[in-house]
Amino acid sequence: MNNEFEQRMAVVTGASSGIGLAVSELLLQRGARVLAMSRSLGGLGALLERYPEQLFWYEGDVTREASLQGLAERAAELGEVHYLVPNAGIAKLAPGSDLQAFDEQWRINGAGAVNTFYALKAQLAQPASVVFISTFLRHLGFVGLGAYIATKAALSSLVRSLALEHANEGLRLNLVSPGPTATPIWNSLGLPDDALASVAGEVNARLVDNEFLSSEAVAEVVLFQLSQGARGVYGQDWVVDKGYTLR
Ligand SMILES: NC(=O)c1ccc[n+]([C@@H]2O[C@H](COP(=O)([O-])OP(=O)(O)OC[C@H]3O[C@@H](n4cnc5c(N)ncnc54)[C@H](OP(=O)(O)O)[C@@H]3O)[C@@H](O)[C@H]2O)c1
pLDDT tens-place string over residues 52-84: 999 999 999 999 999 999 999 999 999 999 999
Is there a domain that residue 245 lies in? no
Average pLDDT of span 210-219 = 98
Average pLDDT of span 198-209 = 96
Helix/strand/coil for 136:
helix
pLDDT tens-place string over residues 82-120: 999 999 999 999 999 999 999 999 999 999 999 999 999
Helix/strand/coil for 219:
helix
Q: Which of 51, 58, 83, 148 is catalytic?
A: 148
Domain membership of residue 199 as a residue range: 9-236
Is there a domain that residue 173 lies in? yes
The backbone torsions φ and ψ at residue 185, rounded to the nearest 5 degrees and listed phi first, read -60, -35
The residue whose CA is least distant from atom 41 of ligand 1 is 39
Is there a domain that residue 100 lies in? yes
Residue partners of 6: CB distance under 8 A and separation at least 6: 30, 31, 32
The DSSP string of 148-207 is: HHHHHHHHHHHHHHHHHHHHTTTEEEEEEEE-SB-SGGGTTS---HHHHHHHHHHHHHTS
Whether the ω angle into residue 127 lies within 30 degrees of 0, i.e. cis, is yes
Dihedral angle computed from the Cα positions of residues 10, 14, 18 and 19, in that order, rounded to the nearest 10 degrees: -40
Tell me, using a 6 A CB cutoff, whether residue 59 lines ligand 1. no
The answer to whether 196 touches 202, Cβ cutoff 8 Å, is no
Is there a domain that residue 79 lies in? yes
The confidence band for 2, taking pLDDT boundaries of 50, 70 and 90, is low
pLDDT tens-place string over residues 12-37: 999 999 999 999 999 999 999 999 99
Total number of domains constituting the chain: 1
Average pLDDT of the chain, as a whole number: 97
Is there a domain that residue 52 lies in? yes
The confidence band for 139, taking pLDDT boundaries of 50, 70 and 90, is confident
HSE-up of residue 197 (Cα within 13 Å, Cβ side): 3
Is there a domain that residue 206 lies in? yes
Tell me, using a 6 A CB cutoff, whether residue 107 lines ligand 1. no
What are the respective helix, strand and coil percentages of the chain, to the nearest 5? Answer: 45, 20, 35
Is there a domain that residue 169 lies in? yes
Q: Is 148 known to be catalytic?
A: yes
Residue 133 Cα to ligand 1 midpoint, Å, equals 10
Pocket test for ligand 1, best of 39, 237, 239 (most atoms within 8 A of CB): 39
Question: Could you tell me the CATH number of the domain that includes residue 147?
Answer: 3.40.50.720
Tell whether pTM > 0.85: yes
Tell me, using a 6 A CB cutoff, whether residue 110 lines ligand 1. no
Is there a domain that residue 241 lies in? no
Average pLDDT of span 158-187 = 98
The confidence band for 172, taking pLDDT boundaries of 50, 70 and 90, is very high
Distance CA 10, CA 79 (A): 10
